[in-house]
Amino acid sequence: MSKKIIMIAGDWNYPKMVYNSLIADFNIEHIIIDRGERTSTMLKRRVKRLGVVHVIGQLLFRIIAVTYINKTSKKRFQEILDANGISETNYPTEKTTEVTSINSEEGRKILKDLNPDIVVIVTTRILSKKTLESIHANFINIHAGITPFYRGLHGAYWSLINKDEEHCGVTVHLVDAGIDTGNILYQDTITDGITHRDNFMSYTYLQLAKALPLLKNAIRDIESNSLTSIANTKEAINNKLFYHPTLWFYLYNRWFRGIK
């Protein structure tokens, strides 16, 4: 039986790729665009957790290394998208609503008014328990890493850094109030698709290509009332959270270990 599906998405191109893939098989009735938290708020939290010097190194990585990678890898990015039929076409404007925060009263009201059965979360802030409990729906998410081993950001990169190719991949999971701690629905690895041309940013495209069929499987499972999941262990709560590398960490591993 068809279920009412909406998305909650961050304001950039990655969620558009997810939307354009899903609409080939499902009717996505609405997209709530969360504008995201202020950069200053995120930086203050990072500094408190990681320290000033580390966060400065992360900022330098994003300003220098990521800018260089994005500029020199456009052809590889497009090659992955084309090979997997992934489009960056914009959403229909009549299907979108922007909110300052999905965790606000405004955000929860919109959710209640839409009253979906399935909510696909794509690169947005952590949803609060109050938001998750505001409606009776299955919240599902694509995580760019294998949980519970690689929670946080850029799990494929960190698994390669750790010589852990077995856990270089992607997870589709139910969303709870933790950070990538929800029950696991599907997982797959990307190691068979990595080439010498791939890098920190293209891993994300390879992960998306593997995740989209898994996400569709999860939606079909919900629609057929056959959804099964695997609970994360305590490891999911106690395990390390991964962030962006510092510039000097990235350059060392790129130059001396060949991990781009």
pLDDT class for 236, splitting at 50, 70, 90?
Answer: low
CA distance 141 to 209: 14
Indicate the burial class of 95 (C-beta count within 10 angstroms; 0-12, 13-18, 19 or more).
Answer: middle
Fill in the DSSP letter of residue 149: T
Judge whether 232 and 179 are in contact, CB under 8 Å. no
Average pLDDT over residues 138-154: 94
Q: In 10 A of CB 79, how many CB atoms?
A: 15
The pLDDT value recorded for residue 243 is: 92
CATH superfamily of 5-257: Formyl transferase, N-terminal domain (3.40.50.170)
Report helix, strand or coil for 172: strand
Does the structure show a pLDDT above 80 at 252? yes
Strands 169-174 and 184-189: antiparallel
CA distance 205 to 122: 14
CA distance 41 to 46: 9
By 3-state DSSP, what share of the chain in percent is helix, strand and coil, each rounded to 5?
A: 45, 15, 35
Percent of the chain with pLDDT over 90: 83
CA distance 141 to 39: 23
Domain ranges of the chain: 5-257
Does the structure show a pLDDT above 80 at 1? no
- Report pLDDT digits (tens) over 207-235: 999 999 999 999 999 999 999 989 877 55
- Report pLDDT digits (tens) over 100-127: 999 999 999 999 999 999 999 999 988 9
Dihedral pair phi/psi, residue 217, rounded to 5°: -60, -40
